[in-house]
Structure 1
Amino acid sequence: MNCSFQCCADAFPSVSPPLCVCRAAQYACTLLGYTFQKSGASPDLVAKIKQLEAHMSLGRKLFRLGSSADALEAAKRGVHLSDSVLRLCITVAHLNRAMYFACDNVLWAGKAGLVRKLDQDKWSQRSFRYYLFALIMNLSRDVYELSLLMEREPRGPKGSSVSSSPVSESREAASGSGLGLPALPQRLRAQLLLLATVLRCNPPLLLDLLKNTCDLFIPLDRLGLYRTNPGFVGACGLASSLLSILTITYPWLKLKP
């Protein structure tokens, strides 16, 4: 398989490194606070970590002032994409990100004391709904690009896989039994191998898929759609933040368009 990937004009707004570092620190505090609390640490220590987490959250909201305009500009660029599915997913995702950032700005104004008598729970739930839908569109885009790459995978004669000879089938069956997968149908094993090959040869798509999957659990938990615990949310947020920092450090790992 050709392990190259297409680089197009970036349709996503750039993420500032301070914001990613602040986000990673916030979710690291969430994870540490939960871990210390479960291990019976001093209540004062847990309270200090939670206070630090609150400061990090407020700092992130400050860094995100004006991000709605960036998301709207990215949505405008997404409208001009030639692929209709990518155009829909990217444009709708950025529009929802713009609304999410707008709600986040209102929350910041309320926490900073600029807006009095603000129903913060209501605005927080509203912002996480926009965030959730943006992530769903991002994941839909990832799945669509993954399906395209799998369809483009070179195949042997008559549409069969190149490795579908009797000898290779017996080898795959033997290796599959070693992996504990003897009961899987041959077609399913072939699809799983193809999926692994495509993801291995397309690191930007793999990282974006992992990042969006990790982020998905955050709004699901905050909206009460899939309850986990602060430790799991902190681990997911920290993992996605580190992946974002990785794409900033190595720009070729960022999924485009």
Structure 2
Amino acid sequence: MDQLVRLNGQTGGRDKIARTVQYASKFLWNQLQNKQSNNLLIEKLQILESTCSSFRKLLRFGRCADSLHSALAHLNYPDLVIRITLTLGKISNSLFLFADHVVWLSRTGLLKNVDSTKWVQISNKYWLLNVVMNLVRDFYEIKNILSNEKVIAYFKTEFLRKPLNIQLYLITIKKIIDVIQMRQDVFIDTLKNFCDFWIPLAGLQKVKLRPSAVGLLGTISSIAALIALLKPIAKLTPA
């Protein structure tokens, strides 16, 4: 209960809670629809999803400026790869949020003669770019971890040069799992971004996903983001 109160006291926490409910609702109503269940319950879940989406758009209003300012703060970060991925990721996130603001203003009627469908596509493109930058950073962090823990060297000397056997395979997998357990922040961030990667792709119609699949991916990524907020050890920094 204390953790829920602490989360609700943060703007980011409220956004992640609402996001979890939003995508969980999408997953549930599509599952119920497939089973031809109660239409009234399906309609209520769809309304809940839409309400959470609108609430999050209002909650994020103006955050595009914050994200752009955050990009400037990473211009002098010493590691080149992290500097580039963080800066480009923040800039693309700022553009995503700006497009999202236009969509929200259009749907509320405050902006007239706006092609909201076009702006939704623009927001999805910049969201996708942001997630790609985050994933590049995640893979870079994983490579560094595996190199530091000498897993890559072990893989080359023990795994590739010897005949394949189950015991050696299991030992290698265990080493990788042990490394992942030591760096929860990288694992959770990678999981979150991997799930998020498919959502804008589906929005851009580059892949075909059922609403339930989008809902499940969004729910998993939202829970991962909540864990990162609740447990400082699970939050990847700098972010």
Range class of TM-score, shorter chain: 0.7 to 0.9
Higher relative contact order (CA 8 A, sep 6+): 1
Aligned residue in 1 for 2:165: 173
1:1-257 counterparts in 2 under 5 A? 16-154=12-150, 161=154, 173-175=165-167, 190=172, 192=173, 194-257=175-238
Q: TM-score, normalised by structure 1?
A: 0.81
Q: Aligned Cα RMSD in Å?
A: 2.6
State the 4+ residue runs in structure 1 displaced beyond 4 angstroms.
none
Closer, same or farther: CA 251–160 of 1 in aligned 2, 3 Å: closer
Consecutive unaligned residues of structure 1, counting only runs of 5 or more, are 1-13, 180-188
Q: Structure 2: how far apart are the matches of 1:115 and 1:29?
A: 28
Q: Structure 1: how far apart are the matches of 2:33 and 2:200?
A: 23
Give the counterpart letter for 1:131 in structure 2. Answer: W
Closer, same or farther: CA 148–134 of 1 in aligned 2, 3 Å: same
SS in 2 for 1:65: coil
Consecutive unaligned residues of structure 2, counting only runs of 5 or more, are 1-9
Map Cα deviations across residues 182-221 of structure 1 (whole Å, 9 max, x no partner).
xxxxxxx84x555333222210000000000011110011
Q: TM-score, normalised by structure 2?
A: 0.87
Q: Structure 1: how far apart are the matches of 2:60 and 2:38?
A: 33
Larger Rg: 1
Higher helix fraction (1 or 2)? 2
Deviation at 1:160, TM superposition (A): 5.5
Closer, same or farther: CA 57–118 of 1 in aligned 2, 3 Å: same
Q: Structure 2: how far apart are the matches of 1:15 and 1:83?
A: 30
Give the counterpart letter for 1:221 in structure 2. Answer: A
- Equivalent pair of 2:74/2:86 in contact (CA under 8 Å): yes
**Identity of paired residues, percent?**
29
Closer, same or farther: CA 160–204 of 1 in aligned 2, 3 Å: closer
